Amino acid sequence: MNDITEFERRITAALERIGIGLEGLERIDPDRPDPAEIDALREALDSERTANAQLNERVKAIRERQETQVARLDQRAHEMTERAERLEAEVERLRAVNARLRETSAALRAANAEGLGDPAAIDAAMAAEIEALHALREGDRAELDAIVAELMPLAEGGAAHA
């Protein structure tokens, strides 16, 4: 029984030394983080990194779509500018032809008022009128081409969805 008492005393002494050692550790680093807390923080950091990577991919995809759309809009603006310039040229040509037609018609009226039927003036008036009609037709054609060019993407888009 002496042995048991001795063992009890030694175990008690060992437990006291362990307790004193633990108190010493707490005094050395009382703010020492819990390993479970560190693991939880690491998991949270990993999930945030994953979310950040996903957001970066979304931003990249949006940026690419924007760049594609801007390029498409730039191309369309360029095409529209070219069409507008062609239409303006046709309008200017039509104005010039109509001005010549007015001059020729005025000369023809003046010749008829004097009773002089000038065949050259009549021919010039007819040629100017025919040229005006051609210019008008070309202007209408250019305008129709512009309208068709605008409608074609819509028609092709509708056919793709059908």
pLDDT in tens, the chain (162 residues): 567 777 777 888 877 777 777 666 655 555 666 677 778 878 888 888 888 889 889 989 999 999 999 998 898 888 888 888 887 887 788 788 878 877 877 777 777 777 776 677 777 777 778 888 888 888 788 888 878 888 887 777 765 555
Q: Where are the domains of the chain?
A: 42-157
Separation CA 148–CA 152 (nearest Å): 6
Return the pLDDT at 64: 92
Residue 104's nearest CA partner among 91, 92, 122 is: 122
Return the pLDDT at 89: 84
Separation CA 114–CA 110 (nearest Å): 6
Return the pLDDT at 66: 92
Separation CA 41–CA 43 (nearest Å): 5
Return the pLDDT at 27: 58
Return the pLDDT at 68: 92
